[in-house]
């Protein structure tokens, strides 16, 4: 069985997730944009019983664009948001895909709140970008 580890920037807060995620998605809602500082959030959902949490977490609860609340767990040392638990999905833990620091992580299969998407956000291959090493 596959086991993946996600952590905050300083490594104090860690999660080990057993098995494959039940869903990997990207969210374009304005709250995810603010939470990540990026143009969308990318997250993986796991059954709660498949997740082992180590370290201390501070929490913050907010309502999302759907009106439903989620409790976000972040490291009190480095402030990285590592995982959250949506009230509407008891029994599941949602983990920030970037916290796995694994370029081989399974890609998203779902995209939500696309009406808030930055027009260029999913067209990076089409942009005239300068590529640096």
Residue 128 domain flag = no
Domain span at 40? 3-117
Residue 131 domain flag = no
CATH code of 37's domain: 3.90.1590.10
Question: Cα-flanking dihedrals φ and ψ of residue 48, to 5°?
Answer: -55, -40
Residue 127 domain flag = no
Q: Is the pTM of this model over 0.85?
A: yes
Residue 133 domain flag = no
Number of domains in the chain: 1
Q: What is the pLDDT of residues 75-94, one digit of tens each?
A: 999 999 999 999 999 999 99
Residue 123 domain flag = no
So what's the pLDDT on residue 81? 95
């Amino acid at each position: 069985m596959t086991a993946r580890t996600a952590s905050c920037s300083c490594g104090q807060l860690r999660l080990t997730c057993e098995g494959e995620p039940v869903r990997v998605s990207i969210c374009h809602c304005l709250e995810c944009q603010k939470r990540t500082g990026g143009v969308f959030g990318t997250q993986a959902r796991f059954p709660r019983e498949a997740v082992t949490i180590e370290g201390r977490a501070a929490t913050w609860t907010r309502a999302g664009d759907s009106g439903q609340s989620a409790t976000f767990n972040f490291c009190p040392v480095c402030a990285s948001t590592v995982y959250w638990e949506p009230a509407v999905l008891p029994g599941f833990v949602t983990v920030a895909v970037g916290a796995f620091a694994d370029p081989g992580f399974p890609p998203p299969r779902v995209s939500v709140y696309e009406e808030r998407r930055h027009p260029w956000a999913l067209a990076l291959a089409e942009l005239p970008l300068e590529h640096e090493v």
